[in-house]
Amino acid sequence: MEKYLELREQEKQAAILQSQSQPENQESQPESDAPTEVEKRKRGKSKLGHVHTRGEKKEIKLSDLGQPISDDDDHLLSEFSNFLGTTVREFVSLTCRSWSEVPEKDILWQYVKDKYIIPEEGYKWVMTTMRDQFRAYKARIKREHYSKYGTDEERLENRPRDVPLKDFKMLLIYWADEKIKDKAIKNIRARSFVSETHTVGPRSFAQVCHKMAIAREQAAKPDEPAPPISDADIYVKTRKRDSAREYKLPTDAVEKKIEDVEKLLKTGTVEDANKLVYGDKKHSRSYLLGRLIQRREAKGKSVTHTEATISDQVLASLTEKIREQLAQEMEEKMDQKVRENVKAMVPKLAEKNPDLKIDIQDLSVEPTYDASASGANTATTDTT
């Protein structure tokens, strides 16, 4: 990573020198009489320079599942996620074939902590998010600058300017590999089966669920607990379609499923609604809760932050009990081993020291020397 950062710094310095070498007074040059078309300025990639350069640290709070949440500042979470994406684009080379090959990830974590106040428990979530950002960034580069063109010459002419030429040439070789092409085709085919895409945009599922829980707590009566957030509630909230919008994938099946789930929720049969959400398909453990560090509840069961906390407490209690049991078993084994060793040594000691009186029936003995006995090695033992 150090070599990559040095390379990026050299390219930045070269770009600065090139810009400084341009004529300062461009307006004094004669203008052509022919009309020129002014290209519409497009919005460039977000670099969040104000975040990377600011001195103030903003605090990121985590839920019981280790996900960033906020009671009243959705913008902070969006900024934090975008910040992780810009960090990946700035400091991680695309020549890494996978996230596992990215070196010195602790440097990235330290950089995140330099800009935000975040608990150490957030490390895994941050790394998981950076991994996903890395994959998405690499996929965009391939889609816009590789798959769109038929030859490497065209790709080099239209390469992304934020990717070093040396790195982009390595990517061309990598993407042209037959094994990589076959893998890409399989991934595209697998992706085509995904039809129930979410509609919450850049908001995280954790924040959506957190806001739902807050709303329910505020609506609940003072003497009644707020109803828990079920998987069916999250599904409806994150998959709801807007009739005024157009979607790339057909929505009829999803809308019908949402309607059926809502009917079950209204009748109070939450478990049946959860089962309908999952159906016969196999989903990942983060299907309805986003990026997770801790394991979620069983398929089709309602999930709440309270249940997750209780599960952690039970796990901690069981762990402590297991440790105590192992320590006790180890102590008993050590005591038995000592007794066996002492029992084996007693006959040898008695043979070499005839005046030594030892009761082999009791191995927990402490020798005391008898001053009246003759000889330097004479001793008696008191049983305890």
Q: How many helices (H) and strands (E) does the chain have?
A: 13, 6
- The model's confidence at residue 263, banded by pLDDT at 50, 70 and 90, is very high
CA 43 to chain centre: 30
- The SS3 call for residue 198 is coil
**Over the stretch 5-37, which tens digit does the pLDDT of each residue have?**
565 565 555 555 554 554 444 444 444 444 444
* Higher local confidence (pLDDT), 35 or 55: 55
CA distance 155 to 151: 6
Residue 61 contacts by C-beta under 8 Å, 6 or more apart in sequence? 68, 69, 70
Which helix (H) or strand (E) element contains residue 367? Answer: strand 365-368
pTM of the model: 0.64
Check whether 169 has a pLDDT greater than 90: yes
- How many CB atoms are located within 10 Å of the residue 300 CB? 17
Positive/negative CA dihedral, 167, 168, 169, 173? positive
Smallest CA-to-CA distance from 97 within 129, 136, 144, 135 is with 135
Percent of the chain topping pLDDT 90 = 45
**Over the stretch 311-354, which tens digit does the pLDDT of each residue have?**
455 566 666 667 777 777 777 777 777 777 777 776 776 676 76
**26, 65, 152, 254 from 232: Cα distances, Å:** 62, 19, 48, 13
**Over the stretch 178-236, which tens digit does the pLDDT of each residue have?**
999 999 999 999 888 888 889 988 889 999 999 999 999 999 988 889 989 999 999 99
Q: Which two tokens stand for residue 348?
A: 């040898």
Q: How many CA atoms lie within 13 A of 134 on its CB side?
A: 22
Check whether 373 has a pLDDT greater than 60: no
The DSSP string of 46-101 is: ---HHHHH--PPEE-EE-TTS-EE-SS-HHHHHHHHHHHHHHHHHHS-TT-SSGGG
- The SS3 call for residue 368 is strand
